Structure 1
């Protein structure tokens, strides 16, 4: 019994990217081709870098002829390649390489990531327009929509920073695009790219305003004055 378990453990394991199982269909591979590739990978992992069609078909439900044809198609479609290798004694031999498969999988992963980021960016941009219309209490004019687009596309302001500038304008009681544009300009000039940096920057300027009014007896109870960005 123990010897059987040891023999099973000695068979080893093969590490396969999970992405291959979720993306093989998008790579235009069918299940039989996938299993053939997995068997090639398994043989390579165990030191047999050029398994024969006979060895491969013996593990599957396809004939040797079908295996030969499938190997030929996988090579033509760029999923595997046959490489020439030379031993230390100068003897030439051939081996399979599945690097083309991994390269296709990486391309697929990057494409998925790019599409996801584009969807996320579109959602963030739509959310910015929604926030502005909510604060302004009306639909934005074409000019205002163009300004928002320029902030994101031309000035490369992050939507989160644009919404932070909008909140700053609301808190300051100066809800207009010129004021918000000035805030964004000042933040960009000072290298502000995160919400926390924006909050700290605003606190510093408001503290300066507070210091100027310390002579008033009720300064502690009065509303904290806000920094007027348009006076810069």
Structure 2
């Protein structure tokens, strides 16, 4: 075969198809025939052929009647739409649009991402119950479980902030829910939302506590240790 013809075929052009579509066309409800025909329509659009007929499409695959059927399915299912335009001479013409395809893909991927985040959140919340039971060395009581759920659902504290407050209570030697609730209340009142902010607030609070001790008492006792209670 003449190499010149091969080069012409290779350099004719490429159709850019997002990998996200290639990997997930089944998730958005497309079968192979519909997917391939959509790609053909996409290719025609890229070649400035806005409204390929079933006969045009049949030159690249199934018969014209089959192409017409598949086109009808794609339009009915909302993967393809027909738009009307007016050219510079005032003549009305129609074109296909695959924007609905991208919208469906974005919708499915967004919902999947939300589901993954919700599942991760549920797992984190489940884990925090386990962390509390390990620290308390016993199962939590129903009231304690309700308090923990309130911190998550009503007060909207993140699991990491609740774990940080738990560590602070352990370091302070006051391992009880009332003390942890007070820590979370103070943090929320003072705008503490991240571990970094909690660390800074804890250090500031300890310095304040040290400054309240009498000078002579400070000489008798060793300095208060610097606890890095947020580090794992």
The 4+ residue runs of structure 1 with deviation greater than 4 A are 1-4
Q: Deviations over 1:172-212 (max 9, x none)?
A: 00000000000000000110110011011000111122233
SS of 2:73's equivalent in the other structure is helix
Query: Which residue pairs with 2:219 in the alignment?
Result: 217
Query: Which residue pairs with 1:36 in the alignment?
Result: 37
Query: Which residue pairs with 2:49 in the alignment?
Result: 48
Aligned pairs (5 A) from 1:104-119: 104-119=104-119
Q: CA RMSD in A?
A: 1.9
- Inter-partner Cα distance in structure 1 for 2:173 and 2:13: 69
Cα distance change, pair 20–194 in 1 and its aligned pair in 2 (3 A): same
1:190 aligns with 2:165: no
Gaps of 5+ in 1: 227-232
Query: Which residue pairs with 2:78 in the alignment?
Result: 78
SS of 1:93's equivalent in the other structure is strand
Query: Which residue pairs with 2:26 in the alignment?
Result: 25
Greater CA drift, 201-210 or 141-150: 201-210
Greater CA drift, 144-153 or 22-31: 22-31
Deviation at 1:92, TM superposition (A): 1.1
Query: Which residue pairs with 2:142 in the alignment?
Result: 142
Query: Which residue pairs with 1:97 in the alignment?
Result: 97
Query: Which residue pairs with 1:128 in the alignment?
Result: 128
1:12 aligns with 2:13: yes
Retained in 1: the 8 A contact 2:165–2:180? yes
Deviation at 1:158, TM superposition (A): 0.6
Query: Which residue pairs with 1:205 in the alignment?
Result: 205
- Inter-partner Cα distance in structure 2 for 1:217 and 1:12: 82
The two structures have a TM-score, normalised by structure 2, of 0.90
Matched residues, number? 223
1:169 aligns with 2:169: yes
- Inter-partner Cα distance in structure 2 for 1:89 and 1:35: 34
Retained in 2: the 8 A contact 1:161–1:194? yes
Retained in 1: the 8 A contact 2:81–2:96? yes
Gaps of 5+ in 2: 228-232
The two structures have a TM-score, normalised by structure 1, of 0.90
Retained in 2: the 8 A contact 1:209–1:225? no
SS of 2:219's equivalent in the other structure is coil
Q: Deviations over 1:25-50 (max 9, x none)?
A: 12221111101001111111121111
Retained in 1: the 8 A contact 2:15–2:43? yes
Retained in 2: the 8 A contact 1:50–1:95? yes
- Inter-partner Cα distance in structure 2 for 1:186 and 1:157: 12
Retained in 2: the 8 A contact 1:210–1:224? no
